[in-house]
Amino acid sequence: MEKALISLKDIGKKYLIGSEVIHALRSVTLDIHKGEFVALMGPSGSGKSTLMNILGCLDTPTKGQYILNGTDVSRMSDNQLAEVRNKEIGFVFQTFNLLPRSTALDNVALPLVYAGVHKTQREARATEVLEHVGLGERVKHKPNELSGGQRQRVAVARALINDPSIILADEPTGNLDTKTSVEIMGLIEEIHRRGNTIVLVTHEEDIAQHAHRIIRVRDGEVENDYANENIRSVSAVIES
């Protein structure tokens, strides 16, 4: 079998608050392979957000091992993790996280600035990706000149700019109306069909049903991990 893109082995995370030890994650073991579309779910306090932060190299575990694309990132320094994030992970956040005074083009090109890519090359690449997400006519617009759906498309384009190993989408439709949510999920589905690995973090059942695999977390452990036999595609939603 092909080596997993993401491999978590006995991952745990605890915090010391005063004299109390809080176990956000107790023991999580799972593999995610290249090309999968996974939804990560869990109620408040389940450890879902902590697990997302570890998957995104925004935090490190207290125990266990995390292998991302062949590299052990479990005990890396903050600077090392930042380098891994920029190279391996594309983030899509609920609140878009766009620079308000920068154009769509500059927002999308930002990861390439950190990667040391020349301005001409990064603008060409950013333009190409914005065209791919349907915003070729909006490259010079700033976030306040765009709708919520368009801003999320800019965020998706930024996530794709470095051709990352994984797209980590945290509640990507949380701030959008129903129609726009359908459009964004259609875009995410298209990105998956092109071969990208997607990890979608959501508390919404109907959004999770777009994924091909659903992982449910509760009390710091994986409660359920199963293939989704009733995949809800955007084309099916539109037809209905």
Q: What string of pLDDT tens digits covers the 240 residues of the chain? A: 578 999 999 999 999 998 999 999 999 999 999 999 999 999 988 999 999 999 999 999 999 999 999 999 999 999 999 999 989 999 998 888 999 999 999 999 999 988 889 999 999 999 999 999 999 999 999 999 999 999 999 999 999 999 999 999 999 998 899 999 999 999 999 999 999 999 999 989 999 999 999 999 999 999 999 999 989 887 544 333
Tell me the residue type at 32.
I
The Cα-based distances of 167 to 7, 54, 118, 121 in angstroms read: 16, 14, 24, 22
| Domain regions of the chain by residue span | 34-48+77-239
Where in 51-203 does DSSP place strands (E)?
Answer: 63-68, 71-72, 89-93, 166-170, 197-201
With a CB cutoff of 8 Å and minimum separation 6, the contacts of 194 are: none
CA distance linking residue 179 with residue 194, whole number of Å? 23
When the candidates are 3.50.50.60, 3.40.50.300, 3.40.50.970, 3.40.50.20, the CATH number that belongs to 34-48+77-239 is 3.40.50.300
Among residues 53, 47, 94, 39, the alpha carbon closest in space to that of 207 is found at 39
pTM, two decimal places: 0.90
